[in-house]
Structure 1
Amino acid sequence: MSIQPEITQRDLRSRSKEIMDAVEHGQSFTVTRDGHRIGELIPLRRRRRFVPRQEFAAMSRNAPSVDIEIFRADQEAAIDHEADSPYDR
């Protein structure tokens, strides 16, 4: 486990572009004020749009089987419910 570098509030203010560029590239920081930790800057997790076939197959091996009749009944119930919605008028 890597330890996040600590930066002071003053560093964050004066080097904000450099620090935010580092966050954008995956670096995390612990922000301190008066020697006390007050927060963390962490990159947002980006959502993948593509999952390789092998990975999808591996994840699917343990997925529960789907009863197609129950699935279709659930879909029909949802459609019927939406048709009766007073908000769609």
Structure 2
Amino acid sequence: MIEIFVSEKCPHCTEVIKNFENDENYYGKGAKLININGPLSNLKKFLSYRDKLEGFEKIKEEGKIGIPSKVVDGKEVLFFEQV
């Protein structure tokens, strides 16, 4: 499962959101776009990954949020300069 975490309030997410809206499979077949500013459950899911996935450690140390990001199978996180 591929989950793309974004916020419509984040200027770095604009292109990611647009790419997904133009082609829902742009980031992988069956990928889900998850806006952390939507339902509270979206933010909770993102924070759960952010708290437990090693890939977020450097982001947290730098004081960054960690969006836009792509989480694959709930185990691996990729940031969009890497995707």
So what's the TM-score if we normalise by structure 1?
0.27
* Larger fraction in strand: 2
Report which of the two structures shows the higher radius of gyration computed on alpha carbons.
1
Higher relative contact order (CA 8 A, sep 6+): 2
TM-score normalised by structure 2 residue count: 0.28
